[in-house]
Amino acid sequence: MKKFTMLVSLFCVCAFLAFGAGSKETPQQVVKEAGPITLTILTTATTQNPEGPLAQEFFDEFMRLNPEIKLEVTGVPMNQALTKITTLAAAGSLPDVFVNTENIIGQLYDMGICEDLTPYMTKAELENITESVRIGSTMENKLVLYPWYSGPNALIFRKDWLEEKGISAPKTLEEMRLAAKALTADTNKDSLVDRWGFGMIGTNDDSGQTRFVMILRGFGAKELYFQDGTWKTDIGSPASVEAFKYFTNLKNVDNVVPAGALENSFNENVNLLAAEQIGMLIAGSNSVGKIFSANPGLKGKIGSVIVPSGVTSYTPSSILGWSVNPSSKHKEAAVKFVKFVSSKKNAIKWVEVTGRIPCTNDAISDSEYLNTPLFEGFVAGFKAMEQAPNAPYYAEVKNVLGRTYQKLILNPALDATKEVQAAGREIQKIIDNNK
Partner 1 sequence: MIKNTTDRLRQNSLGYIFIFPALFVLVAMIVYPMLYGIGISFFDTNLVNKWKFIGLKYYVRLLTDENFGRSIVKTLIFTFGTVAGRTFLGLLFATILVDKRIPFKPLFRSIIVLPWFFPDVVIGLLWKWLYNTNYGLINHLLLGLNMIKAPVEWLSNSSTAMGAVILVSIWKGFSFMVVMLMAALQTVSQDLYEAAEIDGCGRIGKFLHVTLPGIAPVLSTTVMLESMWSFKHFTLIWNLTYGGPVDATNVVSIDIYKTGFQYMRFGESATRAVYVFIIVIVISLLQRKFKNSKGY
Partner 2 sequence: MKKHDAFPIGSFIILLVGCLMVLVPVLWMVITSLKSVPETFEIPPSLIPHAPSLAAYRTVLKDYSFGVFFKNSVIIVVASTFLTLFVATFAGFGVSRFEFKGKAGFLGFVLVTQMFPSVIMLIPYFRILKTYQLINTHLGLVLVYMSFQVPLCTWLMHSYFETIPKDLDDAASIDGLGKFRTFSRIILPLSLPGLASTAIYAFINSWNEFQFALVLTTTDLMKTVPIGIGQMIEDTKINWNEMMAASLLGSIPLIIIFLFFQKYFFAGLTAGSVKQ
CA distance 173 to 357: 25
Farthest-apart Cα atoms in the chain, separation = 85
Nearer to partner 2, 209 or 404 (CB): 209
**Residue from 17, 49, 174, 372 binding partner 2 (CB under 8 A):** 49
Q: How far is the CB of 389 from partner 2 (least distance, A)?
A: 22
Span from 19-27, 197-205, 217-225, 245-253 in contact with partner 2 (CB under 8 A): 19-27
Q: Is 298 in the site for partner 1 (CB under 8 A)?
A: no
Angle in degrees, 0-180, between the axes of helices 206-218 and 394-410, rounded to the nearest 10: 80
Among partner 1, partner 2, none, what does residue 243 contact (CB within 5–8 Å per kind)?
Answer: none
Alpha helices in 118-157 (DSSP H): 123-128, 131-136
DSSP string covering 49-103, please? TTHHHHHHHHHHHHHHH-TTEEEEEEE--HHHHHHHHHHHHHTT---SEEEEETT
Angle in degrees, 0-180, between the axes of helices 238-252 and 394-410, rounded to the nearest 10: 50
Q: Is 130 in the site for partner 1 (CB under 8 A)?
A: no
Nearer to partner 1, 357 or 419 (CB): 419
Q: What number of CA atoms fall less than 13 Å from residue 26's CA on the CB side?
A: 8
Among partner 2, partner 1, none, what does residue 407 contact (CB within 5–8 Å per kind)?
Answer: partner 1
CA dihedral 329→335→337→340, nearest 10 degrees, is -170
Q: Is 271 in the site for partner 2 (CB under 8 A)?
A: yes
The residues, any chain, with a CB within 8 Å of residue 389's CB and separated by 6 or more, are 106, 223, 224, 225, 226, 231, 397
CA distance 16 to 32: 33
Contact code string over 130-169 relative to partner 2, x by CB under 8 A: ----------------------------------------
Q: 214 with 315: CB under 8 angstroms?
A: yes
Nearer to partner 2, 166 or 297 (CB): 297
Q: Is 205 in the site for partner 1 (CB under 8 A)?
A: yes
CA distance 386 to 372: 24
**Residue from 8, 65, 311, 353 binding partner 1 (CB under 8 A):** 8
Question: For binding to partner 2 (CB under 8 A), which residues are involved?
Answer: 1, 3-5, 7-8, 18-19, 22-23, 26, 40, 42, 44, 46-49, 72-80, 83-84, 86-88, 90-93, 95, 266-267, 270-272, 274-275, 277, 283-284, 286-287, 290, 293-296
Residues of the shown chain interacting with partner 1 in the complex, contacts defined by CB under 8 A: 8, 11-12, 15-16, 19, 82-83, 86, 89-90, 107, 110-113, 202-205, 258-265, 268, 271-272, 275, 277, 392-393, 395-396, 399, 402-403, 406-407, 410
